[in-house]
Amino acid sequence: MIMTLEQQSIKVTNFEFENQTNFYKGKVRDVYTIQDKLVMVASDRISAFDHVLPRAIPFKGQVLNQIALHFLNATSDIVTNWVDATPDANVAVGIACEPFKIEMVIRGYCVGHAWRTYRSGERVLCGVTMPEGMKENDKFPEPIITPATKAEEGHDEDISREEIIKQGIVSEEDYVLLEKYTHELFQRGTEMAAKQGLILADTKYEFGKKDGKIILIDEIHTPDSSRYFYADGFEDRQASGEKQKHLSKEFVREWLIENGFQGLEGQTMPEMPDEFVQSVSDRYIELFENITGRDFEKANTENITERIFKNTAEYLAS
């Protein structure tokens, strides 16, 4: 039997685990609290411009979960992370922390939001001055940290280091550590990407605290939280003004912009045809294979929610 794209993807979960104390539905992840543990289910939902798109992308959740685990394992010597186990291809289980209400965004290249800001004539982003004379996708002299407040709903907002400390969102002592971890994680991610012929252009990290200790939480270095360029031909394309070849969610944003949607009031979300949904799925799998150097093994998509619940419940019971 040929399964439809909808049947191959997981859009929502509504599980009831034993000893479950809370449930939170994020843009992409469904988060279950089981006493002092978190069960994070990576759905196949996809968001852009702070809106969840109407159609889910087959295997996207598995890709995100497994890339995040790949990098969390590879950076645990830099900072402790929240994950204890992965009982299912779409699931991570770990420590429940008190999250900091900011995202630590770090940018090695002038792309995406940084470029849109720069192109508008602004030269200061989150209190950081960007050099004159830059073109889109140019490398910054040094990576810059441009934090954002973590919005419960709607858009995350740019904020400067000074404002974060002044408003007491994060203490100065903790913020200094967050900056240190952010630079070290980005350096490790950059080195790992380079080995695979990729350039990590920008990314974001989220942190929490448990028993007074800073913990790295959520996903890292995935196509939802990062932009990657192909290193081969990058300099030539920059010199000639060609568009860069990249692996990230930016192509989804570009498709939405071309179809008249940027998340602004009064705009209607365009319908995503099957061909586009399939192409997005293929691009996510391509990124997994490029960034990890491993073949992607598709999990069984028959009765996905049953599979996830069974595997997770069995782990929790053990």
Q: pLDDT digit of tens for each residue in the chain (318 aa)?
A: 578 888 889 999 999 999 999 999 988 999 999 989 999 999 999 998 889 999 999 999 999 999 999 999 999 999 999 999 999 999 999 999 999 999 999 999 999 999 999 999 999 999 999 999 999 999 999 999 999 997 665 567 999 999 999 999 999 999 999 999 999 999 999 999 999 999 999 999 999 999 999 999 989 998 888 999 999 999 999 999 999 988 777 789 889 999 999 999 999 999 899 999 999 999 889 889 999 999 999 999 999 999 999 999 999 998
Domains of the chain: 99-248 (3.30.470.20)
The tokens of 57 are what?
Answer: 């992308």
How much is the pLDDT for 151?
66
Give DSSP secondary structure letters for 179-199: HHHHHHHHHHHHHHHHHTTEE
Annotate 154-189 with b (16+ C-beta within 10 A) or e (fewer).
Answer: eeeebbbbeebbeeebbeeebbeebeebbbebbebb
How much is the pLDDT for 286?
87
**R_g over Cα of the chain:** 19
How much is the pLDDT for 7?
85
Residue listed under structure tokens 């004379």: 133
Contact between residue 288 and residue 62 where contact means Cβ atoms under 8 Å apart: no
Question: How far is the C-alpha of 199 from the C-alpha of 190, rounded, in Å?
Answer: 7
Question: How far is the C-alpha of 251 from the C-alpha of 287, rounded, in Å?
Answer: 13
How much is the pLDDT for 247?
77
Main-chain dihedrals φ then ψ at residue 101, nearest 5 degrees: -90, 35
The CA-CA-CA angle for residues 229, 230, 231, to 5°, reads: 105
Question: How far is the C-alpha of 177 from the C-alpha of 140, rounded, in Å?
Answer: 22
Contact between residue 110 and residue 140 where contact means Cβ atoms under 8 Å apart: yes
Q: Using alpha carbons, select from 42, 25, 30, 51 the residue that is nearest to residue 222.
A: 42
Q: Is the dihedral of CA 218, 108, 250, 147 positive or negative?
A: positive
The tokens of 162 are what?
Answer: 């000074």
How much is the pLDDT for 19?
95
Annotate 46-74 with b (16+ C-beta within 10 A) or e (fewer).
Answer: bebbebbbebbbbbbbbbbbbbbbbbbeb
How much is the pLDDT for 155?
63
Question: How far is the C-alpha of 49 from the C-alpha of 31, rounded, in Å?
Answer: 22
How much is the pLDDT for 153?
57
Question: How far is the C-alpha of 18 from the C-alpha of 34, rounded, in Å?
Answer: 8
Q: Using alpha carbons, select from 187, 181, 190 the residue that is nearest to residue 215.
A: 181
How much is the pLDDT for 251?
82
Question: How far is the C-alpha of 263 from the C-alpha of 55, rounded, in Å?
Answer: 16
